[in-house]
Amino acid sequence: MILKNLIGTAAFVALMFTVSAFSCTDKAEETLQNSTSNNNGFAVLELFTSEGCSSCPPADQLMGEIEKQYKDQPVYILAYHVDYWNNLGWKDKFSSVENSKRQQQYAQTLRSQVYTPQLIVNGKKEFIGSDRDAVENAIQIALLNDTNAKIDLSAKVSEKEINVNFKVQENNPQNKLLITLVEKKSSTNVQKGENEGRHLVHWQIVHQQNQISLKNSPEGTTSFKLPANFNTNDWEIIGMIQNVKSGAILGSAEASF
């Protein structure tokens, strides 16, 4: 009888410890979520990538996973395909010289090297884009610490173009509004170069980006040429306010079609 009582007592203590542990975990997660919500934080992830780079597919895949994981939180992903890999065996159809120039601008403001895959978070921190731990850590820090400046966006589609209406409260001449047309997902069968024979899947691909000075235009309209085979389910508009001097991103938002 004594042995049974001891076993019963031990089992009860173990059960209470387990319940307490789960309770602490739940409270910690709830605290993080509440802190994030109350602080109105956000995270903009800018990936510089290329279909000609054999190190880039893991970073592209990670962006797809992050997009799914944080779909209900203010985490915005933009994948810029650079063009300086194009003369090394394979031309990336999503690449542009504008994307490469944007990365070079970051290299100057952040005093970093130009490489792929490179990820920049809120214009402040850069690291290898396939480093999951670094990405997760940077997102949590941004959500808890970076207050999101308000941006009102709405988009309307016509036969030939997409018109985006914007309104912000920022009027600092050193800040600009970047409005970007993003394709949510696409893929390519690579036939040459470092990724020859591979089927590559990409997420949040930057196609066009309009830059607007906020000195005299806190509200207005900008437009994009309508892509071929466009539909509102596969594309989105992302806007962000960026300080020209520091490169820091002060706020971001998605537009509803």
According to the model, what pLDDT value does residue 216 have? 75
The 10 Å Cβ neighbour count of residue 110 is: 16
pLDDT at position 44: 98
Reported as a single tens digit per residue, the pLDDT across 200-213 is 999 999 999 999 99
DSSP result, 50-114: -TT-TTSHHHHHHHHHHHHHTTTTTEEEEEEEBSTTTTTT---TT-BHHHHHHHHHHHHHHT---
Per-residue pLDDT band for 39 (boundaries 50, 70, 90) equals low
User: If phi over 0 gives left and psi between -120 and 50 gives alpha, with beta otherwise, what is residue 244?
Assistant: alpha
Buried b (16+ CB within 10 A) or exposed e, 221-231: ebbbeeeeeee
Question: Is residue 102 a part of any domain in this protein?
Answer: yes
123-127, 155-159, 215-219, 224-228, range with the lowest pLDDT = 215-219
State which residues form the domain around 185.
41-255
Is 35 within the bounds of a domain? no
Residue 3 resides in a domain: no
pLDDT at 190 over 60: yes
Cα dihedral: 182, 185, 188, 193 (round 10):
60
Share of the chain above pLDDT 90, in %: 78
Q: What strand order describes the sheet that includes 219-225?
A: 151-157, 161-168, 219-225
Q: Is 113 part of a structural domain of the chain?
A: yes
Assess if residue 15 is contained within a domain: no
Number of domains present in the structure of the chain: 1
In a domain, 1, yes or no: no
Q: Which residue has the higher pLDDT, 16 or 158?
A: 158
User: What CA–CA distances, in Å, run from 113 to 50, 60, 94, 190?
Assistant: 16, 20, 22, 27
Residue 24 in domain: no
Residues 69 and 101 sit within 8 Å (Cβ to Cβ)? no
Which residues share a beta bridge with 225? 161
220 assigned to some structural domain? yes
| Res. 25: pLDDT tops 90 | no
Q: pTM of this prediction?
A: 0.84
List CB contacts of 86: < 8 A, sequence separation 6 or more. 52, 92, 95
pLDDT at residue 11, as a whole number: 43
Residue 88's CATH number = 2.60.40.10
Taking the C-alpha atoms of residue 255 and residue 257, their distance in angstroms, rounded to an integer, is 6
Q: Which residues pair with residue 108 across a beta bridge?
A: none
